[in-house]
């Protein structure tokens, strides 16, 4: 939930407020969409998120982890930085470059599942 808050605060500071946020944490999405209760430890963070959402046209949606590989890679790269970091596709590891390019075109990713033949 903290990463959502930091991301929303960054976007608002940059003037990016017409957003559609996709998260693979169904628990957080359910809390934000008032379908689940928030633990008291997260209440301060929750209230800040709700204040931002009440003032800006931002939509929070659930996305399955399989469709969130590019965002996960960016989050890993960003978490290793002590400051706010931005990355370009060229800086991504090779295995994430093509999915990032597909993601930018809104083309769905397709995974290959290997199994035994019949």
Above pLDDT 70, what percent of the chain? 69
Beta partners for residue 23, in sequence order = 62
Prediction pTM value: 0.63
pLDDT greater than 80 at residue 2: yes
Separation of first and last alpha carbons in the chain: 44
Confidence class for position 43, pLDDT limits 50, 70, 90: confident
**Structure-model confidence comparison of residues 87 and 26, the more confident one:** 26
- Whether residue 109 contacts residue 69, with contact meaning beta carbons closer than 8 Å, is answered with yes
**Structure-model confidence comparison of residues 80 and 115, the more confident one:** 80
Q: What structural domains and CATH numbers belong to the chain?
A: 2-63 (3.30.420.10), 67-104 (no CATH)
Confidence class for position 56, pLDDT limits 50, 70, 90: very high
Q: How far apart are CA 49 and CA 27, in angstroms?
A: 15
């Amino acid at each position: 939930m903290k990463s959502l808050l930091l991301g929303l605060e960054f976007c608002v500071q940059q003037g990016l407020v017409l957003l559609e946020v996709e998260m693979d944490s169904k628990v957080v999405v359910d809390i934000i969409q008032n379908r689940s209760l928030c633990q008291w430890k997260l209440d301060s963070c929750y209230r800040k998120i709700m204040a931002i959402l009440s003032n800006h046209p931002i939509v929070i949606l659930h996305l399955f982890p399989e469709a969130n590989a590019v965002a996960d890679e960016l989050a890993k790269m960003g978490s290793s930085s002590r400051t706010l970091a931005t990355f370009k596709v060229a800086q991504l590891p090779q295995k994430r470059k093509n999915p990032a390019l597909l993601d930018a075109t809104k083309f769905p990713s397709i995974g290959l599942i290997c199994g035994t033949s019949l």
